[in-house]
Amino acid sequence: MSVVDDVRILINDTGVFWPDQAVYDAINEAQIELLAETKWAVSTSTIVLPANTDIFTLPPAIMIPQHVESAGQRWHPTTQARLEGWSQCWRNEPNAQPQAFVLWDASHMRVFPKPDHPYIFQFAGIPWPTEVSAANPDVDASRLYLCPLTSRAAALLVEFTRPDLADAFNAQARDDIERYKRILARSQPHNIRRLRPGTVFTKINAGTIRPMTQTQATTPAALTWNDLTKSWDSYTEPWDSLQ
């Protein structure tokens, strides 16, 4: 079954007939909310910023920009208030390489300072979801993504006719979203949230983290009695240094 069929199964008990286009619109709105919250999908797009141009249109594939890269440098979007707090005369700065990217509106950004010559920037951010329509009635994603999507779309449809049922669908969608976010956090290979604060002891005894080789994984080195007793022979009690 498609995601449209899953939504219709949830709203069949409401006693209200929903046209296909209304179901498509609810699913598309729920997709935008779900992608903006989970941030599990990232898309990149390259643009060429002409000289003496400060306001430009965002790449059409990017829904929410997360960072901009160029020549090994990375910038994150900022706001007009933060730029004003940094420099109140930023409009009078001469043209140079842009160092600040201000979110101007939903589809435009403003750079500071104005570029002195054309620059190539690579934008990375959350992409627009694939639109659900009569020609494309399904979403190619895992069930972990489809479960909250289906519940949220059903809640949007019955929000005004059955608010009690909409609350139940929203609660189910919230539980599914939190479960999906936890699974995404565990599945990231380089997750900084897994690291714990270290101490002086861990910093001294820490080594380089690297993957094990095939030889290390299959044939571990055998320990001898001297290896086991070496650490005990070098151990001293804390009060020995006070004598």
At residue 91, the pLDDT reads: 72
User: Which whole-number Å values give the CA distances from 128 to 40, 60, 63, 110, 139, in the listed order?
Assistant: 12, 8, 5, 21, 13
Q: Report d(CA 68, CA 81) in Å as an integer.
A: 20
Residue 20 token pair: 């296909």
SS3 at position 40: coil
Domain segments of the chain as ranges: 3-40+130-186, 43-127
Peptide bond into 77 cis (omega under 30): no
H or E element in which residue 57 lies:
strand 55-57
Per-residue confidence of the chain (243 residues) as pLDDT tens digits? 789 989 998 888 777 788 999 999 999 999 999 998 888 788 899 999 999 988 999 998 899 999 999 888 899 988 888 877 777 777 777 888 888 898 888 889 988 888 999 999 999 999 999 899 999 888 888 888 899 999 999 999 999 888 999 999 999 999 999 998 888 877 655 455 455 555 555 555 555 544 444 444 444 445 454 544 444 445 455 445 444
At residue 156, the pLDDT reads: 94
